[in-house]
Chains A and B, each alone.
Chain A
């Protein structure tokens, strides 16, 4: 799969996918989108990078680390990072559900804040659901990338 066509296409579409993923993530709480679908889309961008440039590209090409070829994939530092992302994302999601309890509201209660007169935007609504969505995003990205890189290497 690592042909010139594939690499050139990947260079062009990966940024677009990531931007779409981020926009889907940010509008998720009141439009179609959200942490899950944003996360899945982000993972597809990673999957294309893996397909076009190989499994070691992230570690060697982008992070500039030396990769020991004989190592099991589950011990790669980047895979450890994926796993940690999964755990932290889960902690963020659960933690965001617990915060309303401090204010005497039920578990997972959400609210929002409207900001008027923001430069350029004019109006900006900030929803607390974004924190929960961010947790979900991290869980999805971390979980799927762990599976993708470990199973992909096998």
Chain B
């Protein structure tokens, strides 16, 4: 058994996961001492942020950084063991989660939502973070499935957390839908294993790039990728798989919904980008998929055009359904839940452009656009859902009918929400402006006129619902519920800090852009990914004694 090439970079890869695991154990053991548990949770959150920051700097951003690092869990070499891989894309995603996760964690220590399972709130929070972290770091398709399940287990409990009839009903649908999705995921994974004989992502990319050398028939992979894509679309909440989002987001505590919208949704987006570009882009499969009604046909020599076409349809519909749905809601979290559906469409459109174009420059630009937009959505939507939590813990309600005049009651809270809404709309110099700008630029460069129109309509709808939410709850005369409320100062401080982050990302956009560019390069660099993981050729082992185990 060969030792993994050591080095600090390699150790860093697993650091966030170990930190979350230990924090989860600690908070579980301290279930009798709420204060100690909250302290351990905060310390764990801080350690997590430091670990992710170290990955960002030492693996991706430092001048002499390797750009990618791997960790062979249990000292089993790839492709037999589980490989963890941290590259630019993983690091970018982890950074978004770390920022929002710490904010939500600090927020949660102030006002734990009621319900029966209060003592399990923090352990579950850490398990949710563990699932998200594992999904971003794993280099193995089956292990990705496992982390999805870890993430889901925790989120099931959170959706049912408040324990009322409507929460139980929402949780029931959520569980039923996700069990179905997991079954489809497993089916796709099993099919890919049967077709290619491996589930290590690097090994998979290697085999699909040269199927003849491995004696494979890669054609079924296109359909299996379609299966996986539908599962990831469910997680991301793209139309036609969006229907679970409004009820589940309304049922979960707002500070958890912030994570569901900001982090677990992005896992779906991440999985689409990672599998489509890093793993399947090099697959040698001739695709010819006629669309009889339009007289078009999708053709190419990799599964990407197929992915692109499917994503265009889903993303376009998401923008319209989410935007139109958000305009008519009667509560803050209702608006933001529908808004999440629309915003994920904005993230998926550039991914679709990247999948259909053959110009490598445009492909990279489009992925950068998707990542920057995802970052903005995580920050802005996270802030807005946390604001729902702050409003609800202060006034006891988040329905527009009972709200009004919060701006005069708590100006800092209003300013934070104002910044978050403007970031969602995309006003310079906030982070949202650059997200929207890059998405429009990618669409313009792709000469996709209809997409531009769609994006424009989506942006107008965003302005409409953001304005309406602001007018209904923050302006006007104070209602009774608002007049008698006291806003928690720590919660408002968290919101103001998040708002400051949004402004900072917009004002100091250059390093963020460089980071997103490194992430996009990593997503497209199949060769670098395969080299770093360096899977052993399993067929060679058959000739010898079958390895040294």
The answer to whether the Cβ of A108 comes within 8 Å of any Cβ in the partner chain is: yes
Q: How many residues of A contact B (CB 8 A)?
A: 17
Q: Is the CB of B22 within 8 A of A87?
A: no
Q: Is the CB of B28 within 8 A of A108?
A: no
The answer to whether the Cβ of B29 comes within 8 Å of any Cβ in the partner chain is: yes
Q: What is the 8 Å Cβ interface bit string for chain A, positions 74-109, against chain B (1 contact, 0 not)? A: 000000000100111011001001101000111111
Q: How far is the CB of B150 from chain A (nearest CB, A)?
A: 13
The answer to whether the Cβ of B3 comes within 8 Å of any Cβ in the partner chain is: yes
Q: Is the CB of B28 within 8 A of A107?
A: no
Q: How many residues of B contact A (CB 8 A)?
A: 17
Interfacial chain A residues near B28, Cβ < 8 Å:
86-87, 90-91
Q: Is the CB of A87 within 8 A of B74?
A: no
Q: Is the CB of A91 within 8 A of B25?
A: yes
Q: Is the CB of A94 within 8 A of B22?
A: yes
Q: Is the CB of B31 within 8 A of A87?
A: yes
Q: What is the 8 Å Cβ interface bit string for chain A, positions 123-137, against chain B (1 contact, 0 not)? A: 000000000000000
Q: Is the CB of B21 within 8 A of A106?
A: no
The answer to whether the Cβ of A44 comes within 8 Å of any Cβ in the partner chain is: no
Q: How far is the CB of A120 from chain B (nearest CB, A)?
A: 29
Q: Which of B24, B25, B75 contacts A106 (CB 8 A)?
A: B75
Q: Who on chain A is nearest to B14 by CB?
A: A107
Q: Which of A87, A98, A104, A110 contacts B6 (CB 8 A)?
A: A104
Q: What is the 8 Å Cβ interface bit string for chain B, positions 14-50, against chain A (1 contact, 0 not)? A: 1000100110110011010000000000000000000
The answer to whether the Cβ of B489 comes within 8 Å of any Cβ in the partner chain is: no
Main secondary structure of the interface of A (DSSP, over half): helix
The answer to whether the Cβ of B469 comes within 8 Å of any Cβ in the partner chain is: no
Q: Which of A87, A98, A105, A106 contacts B29 (CB 8 A)?
A: A87
Q: Who on chain A is nearest to B84 by CB?
A: A107
Q: Who on chain B is nearest to A110 by CB?
A: B74
CA distance A53 to B18 in the complex (A): 43
Interfacial chain B residues near A86, Cβ < 8 Å:
28
Interfacial chain B residues near A109, Cβ < 8 Å:
74-75
Interfacial chain B residues near A97, Cβ < 8 Å:
21
Q: How far is the CB of A80 from chain B (nearest CB, A)?
A: 10
CA distance A109 to B22 in the complex (A): 17
The answer to whether the Cβ of B162 comes within 8 Å of any Cβ in the partner chain is: no
Q: Who on chain B is nearest to A104 by CB?
A: B6
Q: How far is the CB of A65 from chain B (nearest CB, A)?
A: 20
Q: How far is the CB of B137 from chain A (nearest CB, A)?
A: 12
Interfacial chain A residues near B297, Cβ < 8 Å:
none
Interfacial chain B residues near A110, Cβ < 8 Å:
74
11 additional A-B pairs beyond A106-B4, A106-B74, A110-B74, beta carbons within 8 Å, are A86-B28, A87-B25, A94-B25, A97-B21, A98-B18, A98-B22, A100-B75, A105-B75, A106-B73, A107-B74, A109-B75
Interface of B toward A, CB cutoff 8 Å: 3-4, 6, 14, 18, 21-22, 24-25, 28-29, 31, 71-75
The 8 closest A-B pairs by CB, nearest first: A108-B74, A87-B28, A109-B75, A91-B25, A106-B75, A94-B21, A109-B74, A87-B29
Interface of A toward B, CB cutoff 8 Å: 83, 86-88, 90-91, 94, 97-98, 100, 104-110
